[in-house]
Amino acid sequence: MTLPGYDPADFPPFAVTVDLVVLTLRGGELHVLLVERGAEPWRGHWALPGGFVRPDEGLDAAAERELAEETGVHDVPGHLEQLASYGDPGRDPRMRVVSVAYLALAPDLPEPRAGTDAAQAAWVPVVRAQREALAFDHARILADGLERARAKLEYSSLATAFCGPEFTIGDLRHVYEAVWGATLDPRNFHRKLTGVPGLLVDTGRTRTEGRGRPATVYRRGDVTTLHPPLTRD
């Protein structure tokens, strides 16, 4: 369709990209999925997986395609949502680029394999990733993604997705500690979690953890929103 009086050449070049903050727990530590850029700009630097949106695809489809092409990770089974948009004029030296960032949270994600223009792909501990000189403005996007993930654990039952079908309060506490990067008081945490109606279902079984007394085994209930929220203080 041609619009009278409209010429695309009258406007400067402009592109849209997608970037993904993909978080998972590995060995009890929070990891983020990064790729090493194999092309300029920022060749040789770690970056979040992502790339340009094609003219014939939507944002969600572009995010899924770029994740699969650059890392080999398909069909993230956990939580995926739009995080924010980033459009500072100088964020990409090639041209004016606006990026729509996504946040993905999932347990037990596979080992990545690099593809397209990525030299390598790897799960990197978040504490290490935050010390890296990430490409573009990806350090800011990662920081925003981490804060969104930490906030979600305050008011949602998302942490239970990182446990098996059955788990103890201790298992859940380890998830919170890994994502929040903080040590929590076991008794206070137990009181808060068991005080949320419908969040946990007692299986009637126990499990011995370390040298402590047997811990109650739970499965997740139907509640998805924590009320009151579980604050980090």
DSSP string computed for the chain: ---TT--GGGS--EEEEEEEEEEEEETTEEEEEEEEE-SSSSTTSEE-SEEEPPTTS-HHHHHHHHHHHHH---S--SEEEEEEEE--TTS-SSSEEEEEEEEEE-SSPPPP---TTEEEEEEEEHHHHTTS--STTHHHHHHHHHHHHHHHHHHBSGGGGGS-SSB-HHHHHHHHHHHHTS---HHHHHHHHHTSTTTEEEEEEEE--TTSPPEEEEEE-S--B-SS-----
8 A C-beta contact, residue 189 and residue 207: no
How many CB atoms sit inside 10 A of residue 143's CB? 12
Tens of pLDDT, residue by residue, the chain (233 residues): 578 888 878 888 889 999 999 999 999 999 999 999 999 999 999 999 999 999 999 999 999 999 999 999 987 766 789 999 999 999 999 999 999 999 998 887 889 998 877 889 999 999 999 999 999 999 999 999 999 999 999 999 999 988 888 999 999 999 999 999 999 999 999 999 999 999 999 999 999 877 778 999 999 999 999 988 988 87
Start-to-end CA distance of the chain, whole Å, equals: 57
Token pair for 141 = 């996007």
207 burial level (CB within 10 Å; 0-12, 13-18, 19+): middle
Angle, alpha carbons 203-230-146 (nearest 5°):
110
